[in-house]
Amino acid sequence: MKLYNENNPAPNPRRVRIFLAEKGISIPFVHIPMRQGAHKSPEFMLKNSLGQVPVLELDDGSTLSESIAICRYLEELHPAPALFGEDAWQRARVEMWTRRIEFGLMSRIGAVWINTHKYTAHLGTQYKDFGEASRDRAVKAMHWLNGELQDREFLALERYSMADIVALTTLDFGAFIGIDMPAELEHLGAWHARVSARPSAVA
Amino acid sequence: MKLYNENNPAPNPRRVRIFLAEKGISIPFVHIPMRQGAHKSPEFMLKNSLGQVPVLELDDGSTLSESIAICRYLEELHPAPALFGEDAWQRARVEMWTRRIEFGLMSRIGAVWINTHKYTAHLGTQYKDFGEASRDRAVKAMHWLNGELQDREFLALERYSMADIVALTTLDFGAFIGIDMPAELEHLGAWHARVSARPSAVA
């Protein structure tokens, strides 16, 4: 088994790296230099027809893309600690929160990235007005998240889960492209400090 | 247990209705009239702070939102037929394909809906150029999907799965807002006819 990975600040490969660190699993990485377009090479497109990393490849050559699908697969092979939850309700809660972060926050931060950032300008037309509106919406989602976190330590469960990994990688990517968490969001800030203090966060 | 639902063409509540029909499960529905803004009422926002349907409510008052989280929870209570896959690899495949459809197709169709449609004009600023570009990108994703379906009957597995439900509800919603599948996409068309012929598709 090996993982095609890129060690840039992109949130999706980092989700898998943090997940592996939390599990204490080690998988050989194959570096895909995205700045050189290696993820769009004909060879790599055979592994993922969308040309995206990460991709997990099994020893028989089967491939799996989408960071959450990869982590979910690895969770079944290495059940402890359970990062997707320990029973049906917990697993549903982790799923709900993972999706809330992806659709409510990541999609907006991604829209800022694609439509306003200098690093993505060469990829195609940027819709600047839409991108700037997405920035405001991302910050609005952070305010919502701050309210949700006012009475608990982690997003989905009483302990750390995949949903926290998704939120951490999303917010850190937002900061990388200049969308900072407003300092007055104390519950979100405390949560961010808590999950960033875990050894896995350096992954 | 009850499900807060809206019988409009929105894809997310329909996912759950088709899932229930495939499983042969019956849950009492509570109708949330979205045109009257019932999903944004203070009362409903206590059930889902994002003000979206569907929401599953348990007898103890616990609530769960996000259509896929709801279906995943119900899958654990009613395992057969397994719509999320029967082993670790199948479950990973279903997850991968569900996400590919959501991020590659649904996000674009949603962007057309929010940014160009007359029914959503009252919700806020519409970024028309971005919306029209999203239309082209949605059609491009259909071409990609057509290629993926050239040698198989269903999206993720050798049989019908949650990924097919997500794709069906997405494409039908696209058609509802005027984004038709190009007629030349024969594999996608054949797949669409196949899944639409199932009794669950009327849900």
Say what the pLDDT of residue B9 is: 85
Say what the pLDDT of residue A82 is: 98
C-alpha A117/C-alpha A106 separation (Å) is 15
C-alpha A146/C-alpha A197 separation (Å) is 19
From the list A68, A77, A89, which residue is nearest B99 (CB)?
A68
Cα dihedral across residues A104, A193, A17, B161: positive or negative: negative
Average pLDDT over residues A85-98: 98
Check if B46 contacts A (Cβ < 8 Å). Answer: no
pLDDT bracket for residue A9 (50, 70, 90): confident
> What percentage of chain A exceeds 90 in pLDDT?
94
Contacts of A76 in chain B (CB under 8 A): 88, 91-92
Instruction: Please tell me which residue of chain B has the smallest CA distance to A55.
Output: B96
Q: Are B134 and B108 in contact (CB under 8 A)?
A: yes
Contacts of B123 in chain A (CB under 8 A): none
Q: Taking a contact as any Cβ pair under 8 Å apart, which residues of chain B between 86 and 115 contact chain A?
A: 88-89, 91-93, 95-96, 99-100, 104, 107, 115
> What percentage of chain B exceeds 70 in pLDDT?
100
> What percentage of chain B exceeds 90 in pLDDT?
94
Contacts of A96 in chain B (CB under 8 A): 64-66, 69
Check if B189 contacts A (Cβ < 8 Å). Answer: no
B46, B68, B96, B134, best to mutate vs chain A, most A CBs in 10 Å:
B96
Question: What is the three-class DSSP state of B80?
Answer: coil
Check if A125 contacts B (Cβ < 8 Å). Answer: yes
Say what the pLDDT of residue A52 is: 93
C-alpha A194/C-alpha B7 separation (Å) is 42
Say what the pLDDT of residue B34 is: 87
Question: Cβ A77–B96 below 8 Å, yes or no?
Answer: no
Question: Cβ B50–A100 below 8 Å, yes or no?
Answer: yes
Contacts of A72 in chain B (CB under 8 A): 91-92, 95
Average pLDDT over residues A23-32: 95
pLDDT digits (tens, 9 = 90+) for A128-180: 999 999 999 999 999 999 999 999 999 999 999 999 999 999 999 999 999 99
Q: Which two tokens stand for residue A180?
A: 């900072």
Question: Cβ A93–B69 below 8 Å, yes or no?
Answer: yes
Contacts of B50 in chain A (CB under 8 A): 100, 104, 144
Helix H, strand E, coil C: the string for chain A is CEEEECCCCCHHHHHHHHHHHHHCCCCCEEECCHHHCHHHCHHHHCCCCCCCCCEEECCCCCEEECHHHHHHHHHHHCCCCCCCCCCHHHHHHHHHHHHHHHHHHHHHHHHHHHHHCHHHHHHCCCCHHHHHHHHHHHHHHHHHHHHHHHHCCCCCCCCCCHHHHHHHHHHHHHHHCCCCCCCCCHHHHHHHHHHHCCHHHHC
pLDDT digits (tens, 9 = 90+) for B3-58: 999 888 899 999 999 999 999 999 999 999 988 889 999 999 999 999 999 999 99
pLDDT bracket for residue A41 (50, 70, 90): very high
Of residues A171, A182, A184, A127, the one with CA closest to residue A11: A171
Q: What is the mean pLDDT of chain B?
A: 96
Say what the pLDDT of residue B190 is: 98
pLDDT bracket for residue A34 (50, 70, 90): confident
Average pLDDT over residues A186-197: 98
pTM over 0.95: yes
Say what the pLDDT of residue B68 is: 98
Say what the pLDDT of residue B8 is: 81
Average pLDDT over residues B133-147: 97
